Amino acid sequence: MHELVQTILNSEEKTALRHLIKTLSALDQRYFLRNEILHVFAEYCQNSEKPGYFFHSSSVGKLIHYTHEMIVEGEITWFILRPRIGSQEVWRLGANMTSFEQMTPEALLDARDHLVNRSQSQILKIDFSPYYHGYPRINDPRNIGQGLGFLNRHLCGQVLTDPEYWLEVLFDVFHRHSYDGIPLLINGRIDSGKQLAKQLKQALNFLNERPQGEPYEKFRFDLQELGFEPGWGNTASRVRETLELLNRLIDTAEPAILETFVSRVPTVFRVVLVSIHGWVSQEGVLGRPETTGQVIYVLEQARHLENKLQEEIKLAGLDVLGIQPQVIILTRLIPNCEGTLCNLRLEKVEGTQNAWILRVPFAGSNPNVTQNWISRYEIWPYLERFALDAETELLAQFRGSPDLIIGNYSDGNLVAFLLARRLKVTQCNIAHSLEKPKHLFSNLYWHDLEDKYHFSAQYTADLIGMNGADFIITSTYQEIVGTPDTRGQYESYKCFTMPQLYHVVDGIDLFSPKFNMIPPGVNEHIFFPSNQKQDRDITVSRTVEDLLFTREDPQILGHLENQSKRPIFAVGAMTAIDNLAGLAECFGKSQELQQSCNLIIVADKLHPHQATNSKETEEIERLHNIINEYNLHGHIRWVGMQIPIAELGEAYRIIADFQGIFVHFARFEAFGRTILEAMSSGLPTFATQFGGSLEIIENGEDGFLLNPTDLEGTAKTILSFIDQCNAYLEHWYKISELVIQRVRNKYNWQSHTKQLLLLAKIYSFWKFVNQEVSEAKAGYVETLFYLLYKPRAEKILEQHMQR
pLDDT at 354: 95
DSSP character string of 700-722: TTTBEEE-TT-HHHHHHHHHHHH
pLDDT of residue 287: 65
- H, E, C per residue of 222-260: HHHHCCECCCCCCEHHHHHHHHHHHHHHHHCCCHHHHHH
- Domain 147-176+186-228+232-264 class in CATH: mainly alpha
Residue 344 phi/psi, 5-degree rounding, is -90, 135
Q: What's the rounded mean pLDDT across residues 728-755? A: 93
Mean pLDDT of 130-152: 92
- Tens digit of pLDDT for each residue in 568-583? 999 998 988 899 999 9
* pLDDT value of residue 286: 63
Q: Is the predicted pLDDT of residue 74 greater than 90, yes or no?
A: no
pLDDT for 646 equals: 86
Q: How confident is the model at residue 561 (pLDDT cuts 50, 70, 90)?
A: very high
What does the pLDDT read at residue 803? 78
pLDDT at 292 over 80: no
Rounded distance between C-alpha atoms, residue 428 and residue 760, angstroms: 8
The per-residue pLDDT for range 439-494, each reduced to its tens digit, is 889 999 999 999 999 999 999 999 999 999 999 999 999 999 998 888 999 999 99
pLDDT in tens, 210-249: 999 999 999 999 999 999 999 999 999 999 999 999 999 9
Q: What percent of the chain has pLDDT over 70?
A: 99
Give the pLDDT confidence of 331-378 residue by residue, as tens digits.
999 999 888 889 999 999 999 999 999 999 999 778 889 999 998 899
Distance CA 664, CA 654 (A): 17
Q: Read out DSSP for 107-148? A: HHHHHHHHHTT---S--EEEE-GGGGTTS-----GGGTTBHH
Contact status, residue 672 vs residue 577, Cβ threshold 8 Å: no
405 vs 275: CA distance, rounded Å: 11
What is the distance between the alpha carbons of residues 734 and 58, in angstroms, rounded to a whole number?
A: 44
Q: Using one digit for the tens of pLDDT, what is the confidence trace for 177-200?
A: 999 999 999 999 999 999 999 999
Distance of CA 17 to the CA centre of its chain: 39
In words, the CATH class of domain 2-103 is alpha beta
Q: Hey, where are the domains in the chain?
A: 2-103, 147-176+186-228+232-264, 270-484+513-521, 533-747
pLDDT band at 289 (very low <50, low <70, confident <90, very high): low
What pLDDT score does 765 carry? 92
Q: Is the pLDDT of residue 321 over 80?
A: yes
CB atoms inside a 10 Å sphere around CB 658: 19
What confidence category does residue 285 fall into, taking pLDDT thresholds of 50, 70 and 90?
low
pLDDT band at 264 (very low <50, low <70, confident <90, very high): very high
Q: How confident is the model at residue 690 (pLDDT cuts 50, 70, 90)?
A: confident
For 403-429, the DSSP string reads SEEEEEHHHHHHHHHHHHHHHT-EEEE
Please determine whether the domains at 147-176+186-228+232-264 and 533-747 fall in the same fold group of CATH.
Answer: no
Strand partners, 246: none
- Region 129-138: mean pLDDT is 88
The pLDDT of residue 278 is above 80: no
Which CATH code, of 3.40.50.720, 3.30.70.2970, 3.40.50.2000, 3.30.365.10, is assigned to 533-747? 3.40.50.2000
Q: Looking at the predicted structure, is the pLDDT value of residue 684 above 90?
A: yes
More confident residue, 609 or 670: 609
Q: Which CATH number fits domain 270-484+513-521: 3.60.15.10, 3.40.50.2000, 3.40.309.10, 3.30.590.10?
A: 3.40.50.2000
Position 284 scores a pLDDT of: 61
What are the angstrom distances between the C-alpha of 684 and each of 12, 675, 748?
A: 50, 10, 19
Residue 599 CA to residue 567 CA, distance in Å, equals 6
Reduce the DSSP state of residue 753 to 3 states and report it: helix
| Average pLDDT over every residue of 594-621 | 92
- pLDDT band for 673, please (50, 70, 90 cuts): confident
Q: Which of 519, 516, 498 is nearest to 507 (CA)?
A: 498
Mean pLDDT on 731-752: 93
With 90 as the cut, is the pLDDT of residue 312 above it? Answer: yes
The contacts of residue 611 (CB under 8 Å, 6+ apart) are 574, 605, 617, 620
* Model confidence at 290: pLDDT above 80: no
Can you spell out the DSSP letters for 320-344? GGT---EEEEEEEE-SS-TTSSTT-
Q: Of 455, 460, 471, which is closest to residue 504 (Cα–Cα)?
A: 460
Mean pLDDT of the chain: 93
Question: What percent of the chain shows pLDDT beyond 90?
Answer: 79
- Position 793 scores a pLDDT of 96
Q: Tell me the average pLDDT across 409-425.
A: 96
Determine contact, residues 684/739, Cβ cutoff 8 Å: yes
pLDDT of residue 631: 94
Residue, of 693 and 270, whose pLDDT is higher: 270
